[in-house]
């Protein structure tokens, strides 16, 4: 009799959990959470820049933005020497097929790349003009344990996200509507410097910069 009550109690408990999970899943469909981009660690970026031989003069930050379809973190800015400036913005988009550097760059005029030309990798990047100055840009997809890579277009960025592993906690959060099934998120990296036609940042300096700041760009939390 006692054993029967115990089994019945466990069944009721699991049924309650299942009901809650279904209700939360329906809520996430009817009232989906707006995406949110976690902040970039400014102190870590500054330290990494200096340790790799770059200047790290802080510039005015860009405001964070949040829309139903996308969100960006506060944008960090630094003067890195040789007349060049670095801008870093973490962005996330809701829809898979909207995931691109150009969508995130549209969040602020200082990030928009005109007359864009895709450059072969690695790392994959683009070069163009911003306010008559040469600018080079890429977006870093960075998952757990440092996995990920660089891209600009949707076709380049989606495979980087798809190859990132998910764990049980990620899947549970997705089921409960606490996070998106996949986080279409990257850090937009933009370096501006030199007048039009001057060529912008050279390849060796670009590679050194990306390698230097990458450890500082890991998300603080994946639960947004």
pLDDT digits (tens, 9 = 90+) for 118-133: 998 789 999 999 988 9
Token pair 């380049």: residue? 156
pLDDT grade for 68, boundaries at 50, 70 and 90 = confident
Judgement on whether residues 77 and 140 belong to the same structural domain of the protein: yes
Judgement on whether residues 112 and 14 belong to the same structural domain of the protein: no
The pLDDT of residue 211 is above 90 = yes
The pLDDT of residue 180 is above 80 = no
Rounded to whole angstroms, the Cα distance separating 103 from 108 reads 10
Of 19-28, 109-118, 143-152, the poorest mean pLDDT is in 19-28
pLDDT averaged over every residue in the chain: 81
pTM for this model (two decimals): 0.78
Judgement on whether residues 147 and 47 belong to the same structural domain of the protein: yes
What range defines the domain where residue 130 resides?
34-217
Rounded to whole angstroms, the Cα distance separating 107 from 93 reads 12
Judgement on whether residues 93 and 59 belong to the same structural domain of the protein: yes
Of 24-28, 77-81, 144-148, 209-213, the poorest mean pLDDT is in 24-28
Query: Tell me, what's the pLDDT at 26?
Result: 45
Omega within 30 of 0 (cis) for the link into 122: yes
Answer yes or no: is 224 within a domain. no
Judgement on whether residues 159 and 75 belong to the same structural domain of the protein: yes
């Amino acid at each position: 009799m006692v054993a029967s009550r115990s089994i019945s109690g466990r069944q009721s408990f699991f049924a309650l959990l299942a009901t809650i999970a279904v209700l939360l899943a329906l809520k996430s469909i009817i009232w989906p959470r707006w995406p949110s981009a976690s902040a970039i660690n400014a102190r870590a970026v500054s330290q990494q820049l200096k340790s790799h031989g770059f200047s790290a003069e802080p510039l005015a930050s860009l405001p964070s933005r949040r829309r139903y379809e996308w969100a960006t973190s506060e944008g960090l800015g630094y003067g890195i020497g040789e007349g060049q400036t670095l801008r870093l913005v973490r962005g996330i988009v809701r829809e898979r097929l909207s995931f691109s550097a150009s969508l995130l760059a549209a969040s602020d005029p200082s990030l928009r790349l005109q007359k864009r030309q895709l450059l072969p990798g690695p790392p994959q990047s683009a070069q163009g003009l911003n306010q008559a100055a040469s600018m080079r840009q890429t977006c870093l997809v960075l998952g757990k344990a440092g996995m990920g890579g660089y891209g600009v277009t949707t076709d380049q960025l989606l495979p980087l996200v798809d190859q990132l592993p998910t764990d049980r906690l990620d899947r549970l959060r997705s089921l409960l509507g606490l996070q998106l099934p996949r986080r279409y998120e990257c850090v937009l990296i933009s370096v501006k410097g030199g007048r039009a036609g001057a060529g912008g940042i050279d390849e060796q300096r670009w590679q050194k910069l990306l390698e230097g700041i990458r450890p500082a760009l890991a998300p603080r939390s994946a639960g947004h």
